[in-house]
Amino acid sequence: MIKVVASIVGGLITWIIVATIGNLLFRVAWPGYAEAEIATMFTLAMMVARLLLGALSSLCAGFTGAWITKGNGTATKILGIVVTAMFVPVHYLLWDKFPIWYHAIFLASLFPLTLLGAKLLRRRNGTMQTLRD
């Protein structure tokens, strides 16, 4: 049970760290991004980049959660549910700031991409096991 809780907490922390670092890089490297972020007036390219960053964050969260529990699928599913549940109220508050397709893609991708991140760990470990044999 402790590993399951650690997996969920570790996955959430990973999601936040990856998203924060990516967002900071956007601000530094992308002219106009910081101003668009303050006004919540993103271009299409910026919204797509934010969706891709969310996807990467979810993959990393799932990978980390699975790594902590050594591939416990139940823990990863709970992590995916928690991540999704955390963002539903956030996107409800931002509903008028983004087009509906943005909200739909972001929210619909959280759970499956978290599971995919865990699957990537299992695939990596399976490949590593084969290489050791």
C-alpha radius of gyration, the chain, whole number: 16
Q: What does the pLDDT read at residue 19?
A: 98
Provide CB contacts within 8 A for 87, sequence distance 6+.
Answer: 106, 107, 110
What is the 3 state secondary structure string of 46-67?
A: HHHHHHHHHHHHHHHHHHHHHH
Beta carbons within 10 angstroms of residue 21's beta carbon = 12
What are the structure tokens assigned to 39, written together? 């006004």
Task: Determine the Cα–Cα distance for residues 122 and 53; give it in Å rounded to an integer.
Answer: 22
The whole model's pTM is what?
A: 0.88
Nearest to 11 by CA among 125, 122, 110: 110
* Encoded amino acid at 38, one letter: I
Domain boundaries, the chain: 2-132
Q: What does the pLDDT read at residue 130?
A: 32
Provide CB contacts within 8 A for 51, sequence distance 6+.
Answer: 102, 105, 106, 109
Mean pLDDT by 10 residues, the chain (133 residues): 94 98 97 94 97 98 94 92 97 95 98 96 57 32
